[in-house]
Structure 1
Amino acid sequence: MYYNWLDRWDERRAQRGDEGKTVTEFALDAETAFPNAAKIGSIKEFCVIADRAVDDPKFYDPPDGGNPKFQESDGWLKFPSDIATDIDENNMVWAKITKGGSLRQAIVVFHHWNASKRNRQIAKFLSVRGLTVVEIAMPYHFERSRPGSAHADYMLSPNLGRTIQSIRQAVWDGRKLIRWLKSEGYEDVSVLGMSLGSWVAGLIAAHDLAVSKASLFLTGGSLADMVWSGRATRAIRNSLAPDIQLTDFRRAWGPLNMENYAHRLARPGLHLHVVLARRDKVILPELSHGFMQTLTRAGALPTVLQLNCGHYSLAMPPYILLAGLSLKRFL
Structure 2
Amino acid sequence: MYHSWLDRWDERRAKRGEEGKETRSFILDAERAFPDANKVASLEEFCGLAERAAVDPAFFAEPRGSDQGFQRHDGWLQFPSSISTDVEENNVVWAKVTESGTFDQAMVVFHHWNASARNRQIAKYLSRSGITVVEMAMPYHFERRRPGSVYADYMLSPNLGRTIQSVRQAVLDGRKLIHWLKGEGYREISVLGMSLGSWVAGIVAAHDPAVFKASLFLTGGSLADMVWTGRATRSIRTGLEPNIGLTDLRRAWAPLNLETYAHLLAKRKLDLHVVLAKRDKVVLPELSESFMQRLKAVGASPNILNLNCGHYTLGMPPYIVFAGLSLKRFLLTLPPSFIQF
Whether TM exceeds 0.5 here: the answer is yes
**SS of alignment partner, residue 216 of structure 2:** strand
Deviation of residue 62 (structure 1)? 3.1
Q: Is the 8 A contact 1:62 1:82 kept in 2?
A: no
Q: Hey, what does 1:16 align to over in structure 2? A: 16
Deviation of residue 101 (structure 1)? 2.9
Q: Hey, what does 1:300 align to over in structure 2? A: 300
Q: Deviations over 1:91-130 (max 9, x none)?
A: 0000000000325210000100000111110110100001
Structure 1 consecutive aligned stretches of length 4 or more whose deviation exceeds 6 Å: none
Q: Hey, what does 1:188 align to over in structure 2? A: 188
Q: Hey, what does 1:280 align to over in structure 2? A: 280
Q: Hey, what does 1:160 align to over in structure 2? A: 160
**SS of alignment partner, residue 304 of structure 2:** strand
Q: Hey, what does 2:290 align to over in structure 1? A: 290
Q: Is the 8 A contact 2:95 2:134 kept in 1?
A: yes
Q: What are structure 2's unaligned runs of at least 5 residues?
A: 332-341
Q: Is the 8 A contact 1:14 1:232 kept in 2?
A: yes
Q: For residue 220 of structure 2, what is the amino acid of its counterpart?
A: G
Q: For residue 191 of structure 1, what is the amino acid of its counterpart?
A: V
Q: Hey, what does 1:245 align to over in structure 2? A: 245
Q: Hey, what does 2:173 align to over in structure 1? A: 173
Q: For residue 151 of structure 2, what is the amino acid of its counterpart?
A: H
- Paired residues in the alignment total 331
Deviation of residue 308 (structure 1)? 0.2
TM superposition score normalised by structure 1: 0.99
Q: Hey, what does 2:258 align to over in structure 1? A: 258
Deviation of residue 63 (structure 1)? 2.3
Q: For residue 82 of structure 1, what is the amino acid of its counterpart?
A: S
Q: For residue 199 of structure 2, what is the amino acid of its counterpart?
A: W
Q: Hey, what does 1:270 align to over in structure 2? A: 270
Deviation of residue 67 (structure 1)? 6.5
The reply to whether residue 46 of structure 1 matches residue 38 of structure 2 is no
Q: Hey, what does 1:213 align to over in structure 2? A: 213
**SS of alignment partner, residue 311 of structure 1:** coil
**SS of alignment partner, residue 58 of structure 1:** helix
**SS of alignment partner, residue 59 of structure 1:** helix
Q: Hey, what does 1:95 align to over in structure 2? A: 95
Deviation of residue 82 (structure 1)? 1.3
Q: Is the 8 A contact 1:23 1:235 kept in 2?
A: yes
Deviation of residue 182 (structure 1)? 0.2
Q: Is the 8 A contact 2:66 2:176 kept in 1?
A: no
Q: Deviations over 1:31-55 (max 9, x none)?
A: 1100011111111111100011011
The reply to whether residue 315 of structure 1 matches residue 306 of structure 2 is no
Q: Deviations over 1:147-182 (max 9, x none)?
A: 000000000000000000000000000000000000
Q: How far apart in 1 are the matches of 2:121 and 2:320? A: 11
Q: How far apart in 1 are the matches of 2:66 and 2:303? A: 39
Q: How far apart in 1 are the matches of 2:170 and 2:50? A: 18
Q: Hey, what does 1:140 align to over in structure 2? A: 140
TM superposition score normalised by structure 2: 0.96
Measured on the aligned residues, the alpha-carbon RMSD in Å equals: 0.8
Q: How far apart in 1 are the matches of 2:190 and 2:325? A: 16
Q: For residue 321 of structure 2, what is the amino acid of its counterpart?
A: L
Q: Deviations over 1:254-293 (max 9, x none)?
A: 0000000000000010000000000000000000000000
Q: How far apart in 2 are the matches of 1:313 and 1:79? A: 34
Q: Deviations over 1:60-100 (max 9, x none)?
A: 01321286110001100000001000000000000000000
Q: What are structure 1's unaligned runs of at least 5 residues?
A: none
Q: Hey, what does 2:338 align to over in structure 1? A: none
Q: How far apart in 1 are the matches of 2:170 and 2:269? A: 23
Q: How far apart in 1 are the matches of 2:92 and 2:66? A: 17
Q: Hey, what does 1:64 align to over in structure 2? A: 64
Q: How far apart in 2 are the matches of 1:206 and 1:265? A: 5
Q: How far apart in 1 are the matches of 2:4 and 2:105? A: 41
Q: Is the 8 A contact 2:67 2:179 kept in 1?
A: no
Q: How far apart in 2 are the matches of 1:58 and 1:211? A: 18
- 265 and 305 in structure 1: CA distance in 2 versus 1, 3 angstrom threshold: same
Q: Is the 8 A contact 1:101 1:129 kept in 2?
A: no
Q: For residue 328 of structure 1, what is the amino acid of its counterpart?
A: K
